[in-house]
Amino acid sequence: MAIDIPTVITVGPEVGLSARQWALRFFEHRPELSSDPHPSASLTSLLRGRLQSMAVDPSLWQDIEGFDRTLLQASQDAGLSLRVPISVVEQARPAFARAWLEVVQLEESSRSIAASILAAADAVARAPDQLIIAPGPTSYIPRADDRTVAELIETYQAEKAAKNGQAAADKAGAHIFRALKEVLGADKPVRSITRDDAIAVKKFLQMVPANASKLYPNVPLSEAIRLGERDGRARLSVGTVRSYVIAMSSLFNWAVKIRRLMDFNPAIGLAGPATITVQRRGFSPSELIQLFDSLKQFKGSPQPSRYWVPALCLGGARLGEICQLKTADVKIDDGVAYLDLSLFKDGIRSNDKRLKNRASERAAPIHPIVIGAGFLEFVAARKAAGDDRLFPELQFSELHGYGGKFSKWFGLHLTAIGLSDRTLVFHSLRHLFREQARNVGLTEEIADAIGGWTAKTTGRRYGRQHVATLDRELARIKFQGLSLI
């Protein structure tokens, strides 16, 4: 937060000027100041709070970016051309902070008087018989630990980067962070953010064109809005705007509950309920046959994952669970082949593995149709080649794990083979498993155990020792007319 000492302007009208003329001249000299009698919090109010805190704890000078630089600049402006030793700077800081605070307070006093004069003059000019003096809104009162929008975002991203990686932190919430800085200002103290501010950010997002970063790279979102309107571009969808508002609310929630930097979350409930625009479904028998007929070409190719990943998901697994498999995760106990879906190996957690929830960690049986297609022979060949991962051609992403690029490819492939129905996605294989489980009469707790859904009751739990039972139940599911050979 770089601050310059402002030029002090005399408080009160000058000789020969009316009050209104003086106020107008004041804002002509300082156009960067707000002429609103009750402005929202600004960088000046944040600075005033931090300077006040320095009177109690001089070490807080470090909270004001460029404090020493400003002190030295003021010394030079005063005619001190010699290099100032650091020991002198340390002794001068408290006195300089008090002087700086006096300047800031005087400037704010002048601004407030000038703004009130203009507001009163304008009100009288508009309706001299209806002038009502109303109390102003509750003002934002600075505190020592206040942070700006930019500082909050920087701290939040640093914590997310430490947890999920830098790429994930940079991408997640990128649009909402840009919008917050553009609409509210990077220097706005976060404790001064109001509900109206949050609503303004949401309205701003509703005007942003879809794919703004690709269509109009390296320009502010406000400029992308102007260019998008000029070019007739579609705006962000309702669902996308909602996701950004949720991200904004999550940021504020973190600031309130974790860092205590805000007193309340001004965006709580602002996203509204989700609007379902597409209802996903499972593949029909003919669509499933069409899909796997098109995938057989990849079985012996350099991209075998394009065949085996969808095949393994016929057993209800999630895309990410299969894409991250290691050869050692395919196990056989008492003649039953299964996938050991776990975040741990020999008690040590894998850094590149992710599961959705605790129920996802399970022993998942492999459908007989996949075994019959030669899956175990494929695994044996991978092991013989010395491969640690089952699908080494899939690359890891901090944001999407091993399945991100595969999911995009699969969507394009569906369109290429004529299955362009928007209700069909990779997850449709999981929908299909659920539908087939109901059709053959699998109990809900058996289906949950096979597919890794969180159990809805506190009844029986199926662990690794029950994999033979789960394997037997999975084999009851048939896929009409489907052959993987």
- Name the band, by pLDDT with cuts 50, 70 and 90, for residue 3: very low
CB under 8 A, 24+ apart: contacts of 338-343: 338/363, 338/364, 338/365, 338/366, 338/467, 338/471, 339/312, 339/363, 339/364, 339/365, 339/366, 340/464, 341/317, 341/452
Closest among 482, 440, 483 to 286, alpha carbons compared: 482
pLDDT of residue 88 exceeding 60, the answer is yes
DSSP 203-217: HHHHHSBTTHHHHST
310, 316, 321, 324: CA torsion to nearest 10? -30
191 and 316 within one domain: no
Read off the pTM: 0.56
Q: Of the candidates 240, 257, 274, which is a domain's last residue?
A: 257
pLDDT, position 202: 94
Buried b (16+ CB within 10 A) or exposed e, 7-41: eebeeebeeeeebbebbbebbeebeebebebebbb
Q: How far is CA 38 from the centre of its chain?
A: 33
The domain containing residue 360 runs over which residues? 285-474
346 and 378 within one domain: yes
Q: For the chain, how many helices (H) and strands (E)?
A: 20, 5
Q: What is the mean pLDDT of the chain?
A: 84
186 and 70 within one domain: no
449 and 348 within one domain: yes
Answer whether residue 119 is part of any domain: yes
Our count of domains for the chain comes to 3
Closest among 246, 184, 13 to 113, alpha carbons compared: 13
pLDDT of residue 5 exceeding 50, the answer is no
- Name the band, by pLDDT with cuts 50, 70 and 90, for residue 41: low
Q: Contact, 224 vs 216, CB < 8 A?
A: yes
CATH number for position 468: 1.10.443.10
252 and 300 within one domain: no
Lowest mean pLDDT segment, chosen from 26-30, 242-246, 289-293, 479-483: 26-30
β-bridge partners, 365: 338
pLDDT, position 159: 87
